[in-house]
């Protein structure tokens, strides 16, 4: 399942050492880089995925909480080797 025509060039990554300490327990002096990306394809059964970060496309990234994922904007954390999908980015709908 994919969404054609969705922009796959999110804003540039940003760094947060404070968040690194919260999420990882220690940032070892290195800034944590969070990346806004787009989940292009997602299989609920096998958890196979394709993620685009601008022109870079990743296949089958590791992830947290697969039951909450769906095609759309996601947040990645830069990890040694390859990014990890942290979760989906939701935009609240006004009541």
Q: How confident is the model at residue 78 (pLDDT cuts 50, 70, 90)?
A: confident
Q: What pLDDT was estimated at residue 91? A: 74
pTM of the model: 0.68
- Delineate the domains of the chain, giving CATH numbers in brackets: 14-88 (2.40.50)
Report the C-alpha gap between 76 and 58 in whole angstroms. 11
Q: What pLDDT was estimated at residue 95? A: 73
């Amino acid at each position: 399942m994919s969404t054609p025509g969705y922009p796959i060039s999110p804003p540039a990554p940003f760094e947060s050492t404070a968040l690194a300490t919260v999420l990882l327990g220690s940032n070892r002096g290195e800034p944590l880089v969070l990346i806004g990306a787009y989940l292009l394809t997602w299989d609920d059964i096998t958890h196979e995925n394709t993620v685009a970060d601008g022109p870079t496309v990743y296949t089958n990234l590791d992830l947290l909480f697969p039951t909450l994922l769906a095609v759309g904007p996601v947040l990645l954390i830069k990890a040694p080797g390859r990014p990890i999908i942290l979760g989906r980015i939701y935009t609240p709908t006004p009541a």
